[in-house]
Amino acid sequence: MQDESDFPIAIIGAGFAGIGAAIQLLQAGIDSFTIFERAGEVGGTWRDNTYPGAACDVPSHVYSLSFEQNPNWSQRYATSGEIQAYLLDVVAKWDLRAHMRLDTEIVEARFDEDAGAWHLKTGFGDQFSARVVIAGVGGLVDPAYPEIPGMSEFEGEMMHTARWNHEVDLSGKQVSVIGTGASAVQVVPAIAPIVAFLTVFQRTPAWVVAKFDAFYPKWLKKLLARFPFLLRASRFVKYWVSEIRGPIVFYNSKLLSLIGVLLSKWNLRRQVKDPELRKKLTPTFQFGCKRVLVSDDYWATFERSDVELVTDTIERIEAKGVRTKDGRLHEADAIVLATGFKLGLVTAPFPIIGREGKTLDDAWSGGAVAYKGMTVAGFPNWFILMGPNTGPGHTSVLVYTEAQIAHAIEAIQRIRNEGLKYVEIRQDVQDRYNEGIQKRMKHMVWGGCKSWYLNPDGSNHSLYPGFAAEYVLRARHFKPAEYEIVK
């Protein structure tokens, strides 16, 4: 069903980015948009990640939409279920379902230069034409399954954290967890008390800092609801605290890294008494190089007598469990793969064919690049949310996303009000911007170890090398001089 308006806009993805874009469009007085979502429900990350312990390690007062602040967060770091419930409430409040096509995957996008429009093909074979596309498809969506020999031979249950099978009851079972990243630090302490025995396979230890999570008492929630400026103040303080601490996480400075190391080692000492165990859990790479993890109980879990940390390399998976290089078989009834995601930013999420038949995959053959992570030369009227080099290592990604949406809306207003065919970022502007980004990367901490932040050639096309506030100031306005304006 094609939107009847003369200025149809397509939003792809109904996660935080797509929902935020829809609301900001409505706030700007634009309602001619359709949201396409390949899944059967909204929520993105928070719909998909439902493993025990799943939560967001960014404080909820910041990890929420600035224009939809919620006084009722139950604790400082909301659980995945609570964030999903928040998104469902927001969608209902703004009546976004009226704009939504769920279970509808966009499988191809092709730009029509004469019409100044994108023709989107859905998985059902029908077509939708949009003057502007806002793509909020997310960067960490599809689970990365490890390539460990023998995986198909395993006779027990195997599941990825991002595709949790709630039919499987882990209580009283021998369970193995592979991986020790941001998902693992949440699932490990959550399942340890219910399983019979837990084995955690660690390939690389991680720096973990204290979370200091706390439930918000009823009176505080009432106060925040009664006086919204207090909620805004809480958000403001938490945002600026993470900004001020940011350089410890992202800047390549021995002194700043040392602060992070000391904080993390304190967290380790208070949770683990055994010095041998502490040694195994201590990373050897610089603080911040991989994503810094946040937990008050992950490390303490290894003090339990029914939990074992295995640092020997996994050789293969067999019918009865996981065999390590030392020849030992670690028996398991179930294996949890906390092995992360395929980095969605490396290639286009589906064939995207821009002006003169150029594909986004071609444009990104040397690594994903965009102007401020949002617009790509050759792909007019296409706005990416959470695109290349816009990920934060230290604060809420939503701060970046809202600035990107504001930029896209200013462009939309321009195109619509001035009857333009399209706007397209100038190649020279995009190149200069990305040269600057890569130059700044040299001063960042991320080059010194292996992580999903990096492409196979070691270049970083994922994270923004700097403060969120600085990115927002640079990105939130559409500057016509930087774009080719075609009437």
* Contact residue for ligand NAP among 84, 180, 271, 401 (CB under 6 A): 180
387 φ/ψ angles, rounded to the nearest 5 degrees: -85, -160
Kindly state the DSSP code that residue 444 receives in the 8-state scheme: B
Nearer to ligand NAP, 6 or 147 (CB): 147
Beta strand segments in 366-409, E = 382-384
Nearer to ligand NAP, 260 or 378 (CB): 260
Contacts of 158 (CB under 8 A, 6+ apart): 151, 334, 335, 336, 337
Stretch that binds ligand NAP, among 128-136, 149-157, 179-187, 461-469 (CB under 6 A): 179-187
Nearer to ligand NAP, 58 or 96 (CB): 58
Helix (H) or strand (E) holding 158: strand 157-160
Nearer to ligand NAP, 51 or 433 (CB): 51
Cβ–Cβ < 8 Å for 178, 335: yes
User: Closest separation between CB of residue 140 and ligand NAP, Å?
Assistant: 5
Instruction: Produce one character per residue of 32-49: b if its CB has 16 or more CB atoms within 10 Å, e if not.
Output: bbbbbbbbeebbbbbbbb
Site for ligand NAP in 19-58 (CB under 6 A): 55-58
The CA radius of gyration of the chain, in Å to the nearest whole number, is 23
Residue 420-459 contact track with ligand NAP, rule CB under 6 A, x = bound: --------------------------------x-------
Residue 58-97 contact track with ligand NAP, rule CB under 6 A, x = bound: x---------------------------------------
User: Closest separation between CB of residue 297 and ligand NAP, Å?
Assistant: 14
Q: In terms of Cα–Cα distance, which of 386, 331, 444, 374 is closest to 44?
A: 386
Q: How far apart are CA 333 and CA 159, in angstroms?
A: 12
Site for ligand NAP in 191-220 (CB under 6 A): 201, 203-204
Q: Binding to ligand NAP by residue 283, rule CB under 6 A? A: no
Residue 317-346 contact track with ligand NAP, rule CB under 6 A, x = bound: ---------------------xxxx-----
Tokens of 43: 């929520």
Nearer to ligand NAP, 122 or 455 (CB): 455
What residue number has its CB nearest to ligand NAP? Answer: 181
Cβ–Cβ < 8 Å for 183, 328: no
User: Closest separation between CB of residue 148 and ligand NAP, Å?
Assistant: 5
Task: Give the DSSP per-residue string, 417-461.
Answer: HTT-SEEEE-HHHHHHHHHHHHHHHTTBSGGGS--TTB-TTS-B-
Nearer to ligand NAP, 101 or 211 (CB): 211
Site for ligand NAP in 92-151 (CB under 6 A): 140, 146, 148
Stretch that binds ligand NAP, among 172-180, 300-308, 423-431, 436-444 (CB under 6 A): 172-180
User: Closest separation between CB of residue 185 and ligand NAP, Å?
Assistant: 8
Cβ–Cβ < 8 Å for 394, 444: no
Kindly state the DSSP code that residue 147 receives in the 8-state scheme: -
User: The dihedral of CA 63, 65, 70, 71: what is its sign?
Assistant: positive
The amino acid at 183: S
Site for ligand NAP in 261-280 (CB under 6 A): none
Residue in the block written with tokens 């640079």: 474
User: Closest separation between CB of residue 23 and ligand NAP, Å?
Assistant: 22
Give the total of residues touching ligand NAP (CB under 6 A): 24
What are the distances in angstroms from CA 33 to CA 12, 349, 384? Answer: 10, 21, 16
Q: Which residues bind ligand NAP (CB under 6 A)?
A: 55-58, 140, 146, 148, 178-184, 201, 203-204, 291, 314, 338-341, 452
